[in-house]
Amino acid sequence: MAVDDLGVIDIEVPYENGDLRMVIIDGLAWTNDEVITDHLNALLRKIKFYLDIAESDTFRQKYPNTTLENITIEIVLRYPPPLGVEDFLKQYAGTLAPDGITLVYNVHAG
């Protein structure tokens, strides 16, 4: 399970009320501009994978009471993102909000 493993949902946390938290585990560092670009691309691909899953028939069968408005995608980062990345993630979360999807992130350096 990792941000660069596109075929897997790292963690799914369903709640009785129909809410669902889909977690991305991100242990990659943010060391230089090239790495930051590759890292963001991997993160965006993983988010897109989660969105594709959430819109699939299989997902609707598994979670019949869960709509896009009930989904939170949480990114758990091992390393704090640079300021520009934080700004990008906040803006990207804004692009998902009209569909009802919540995107959040936090740093868990453990």
C-alpha distances in angstroms, 1 versus 11, 78, 81, 106? 8, 13, 20, 17
φ and ψ at residue 109, rounded to 5 degrees: -90, 85
* Residue 76 confidence (pLDDT) above 90: yes
Summarize the confidence of residues 78-89 as an average pLDDT: 92
Residue 11, φ and ψ in degrees, nearest 5:
-145, 135
pLDDT tens per residue across span 37-68: 999 999 999 999 999 999 999 999 999 999 99
Q: What is the pTM of this model?
A: 0.92
Q: How far apart are CA 24 and CA 84, in angstroms?
A: 20
How large is the average pLDDT for residues 7-20? 94
Output the pLDDT for position 3. Answer: 86
